[in-house]
Amino acid sequence: MRAAADPESFRLVIPSQTRYLNLVTGLAKRASLVAGMDDATAAKVSIAVDEAVTNVIIHAYRGESTHQVEIELRFREEALEIRIWNTGGGLHDEDVVLPDPKEYVKHPRKGGLGLLLMSRFMDEIHFKDTDGRSECCMIKRTPA
Amino acid sequence: MADLLIQVREVDGVAVMRPEGFINAHTVRMFEDALEKLVAEGRFTILLDCQGLNYISSAGLGAIMGLIETVRDNGGDILLCNLHENVFAIFDTLGFTQLYRVFPTEAEAILAVAGKA
């Protein structure tokens, strides 16, 4: 039986294909504006969502296009909460090691920047397994 | 509209690349191919005019990062101009504004390359 719909949230399920990134990031940006954020902050939230969904498609699902990525946007009184689930496996909080930007700039290489952008652009990021699925939860507080 | 369109032209010996749209994991291959084509042609001074760039994710940053040493080893550089606030925030947050020269306009970037500014 499905749980009663939460009037403060909505969910989107997309195939694990990068062609839908633009759609999801556009939605995240609009949701951020609805939550009361300014354009610059909304753009940062949309980038964080791009990075999180890209991580799922490229790393958790290894680029396989036949899986699903589920995204929930929840409007809390003081924040916008975004949860992204996949069944391909994921990170846990203790696994996350962010690169040092200063070292990165000294020794340029491809990759490793997505998590850093997520952590800088959102107020909180958490990874965990829940109900057999991997979850990334990102929180951006809204202006008082 | 396509997710990404890329125009390239030559201005005073500088390859000016104008990406329009979004550079993310879906479009990055096109962006990377365009950059690699310039490098393969020996055009090592590249100006990214970001006037039409709505956003660039870490995938796009990686494409630039993957070529920066090659172009600099060949006496060139990758420069940036006309960055929207949100695109600048991405570069600046990661400290890339220390790594790349950023100009307000294409004209100022071209002058700087020519040593006139």
Of B22, B94, B99, the CB nearest to A113: B94
Helix, strand, coil share (%) of chain B residues, nearest 5: 40, 30, 30
How does DSSP assign B3-42, residue by residue? SEEEEEEEETTEEEEEEEEEESTTTHHHHHHHHHHHHHTT
Q: Is the pLDDT of residue A59 over 80?
A: yes
- Interface membership of A55 toward B (CB under 8 Å): no
Contacts of A51 (CB under 8 A, 6+ apart): A114, A115, A117, A118, B57, B58
* Short-list B33, B18, B91, CA closest to A47: B91
Residues of A in contact with B93 (CB under 8 A): 101, 117, 120-121
- Beta carbons of A22 and B94 less than 8 Å apart: no
Q: Is the pLDDT of residue B72 over 70?
A: yes
Interatomic CA distance for residues B87 and B84, integer angstroms:
5
Kindly report the CATH class assigned to B4-108: alpha beta
| DSSP code at position B104 | S
Listed by number, the residues of chain A in 18-47 with a beta carbon closer than 8 Å to a beta carbon of chain B are 18-19, 21-22, 25, 39-40, 43-44, 46-47
Listed by number, the residues of chain B in 75-104 with a beta carbon closer than 8 Å to a beta carbon of chain A are 85-86, 89-90, 93-96, 98-99
- Interface membership of B74 toward A (CB under 8 Å): no
A63-94 tens-digit pLDDT: 999 999 999 999 999 999 999 999 987 777 77
Interatomic CA distance for residues B115 and B117, integer angstroms:
6
H or E element that contains A111: none
B29-54 tens-digit pLDDT: 999 999 999 999 999 999 999 999 99
Q: How confident is the model over A102-109, as a mean pLDDT?
A: 66
In CATH terms, the superfamily for domain A8-141 is Histidine kinase-like ATPase, C-terminal domain (3.30.565.10)
How does DSSP assign A7-68, residue by residue? TTEEEEEEES-GGGHHHHHHHHHHHHHHTT--HHHHHHHHHHHHHHHHHIIIIISTT-TTSE
- Interface membership of B73 toward A (CB under 8 Å): no
**Which amino acid is present at B13?**
G
- Disruptive mutation site among A19, A21, A23, A65 for chain B (greatest number of B CBs within 10 Å): A21
Q: What is the pTM of this model?
A: 0.90
Work out the pLDDT band at B9, boundaries 50, 70, 90: very high
Q: Phi and psi dihedrals of A97, rounded to 5?
A: -125, 115
Domain ranges of chain A: 8-141
For chain B, what is the mean pLDDT? 94
Give the CA angle between residues B104, A22, B27 to the nearest 5°: 70
Residues of B in contact with A104 (CB under 8 A): 94-95
Work out the pLDDT band at A4, boundaries 50, 70, 90: low
Q: How confident is the model over B6-19, as a mean pLDDT?
A: 97
**Which amino acid is present at A16?**
S
Predicted-complex ipTM score = 0.89
* Short-list A25, A12, A8, CA closest to A78: A8
- Beta carbons of B65 and A57 less than 8 Å apart: no
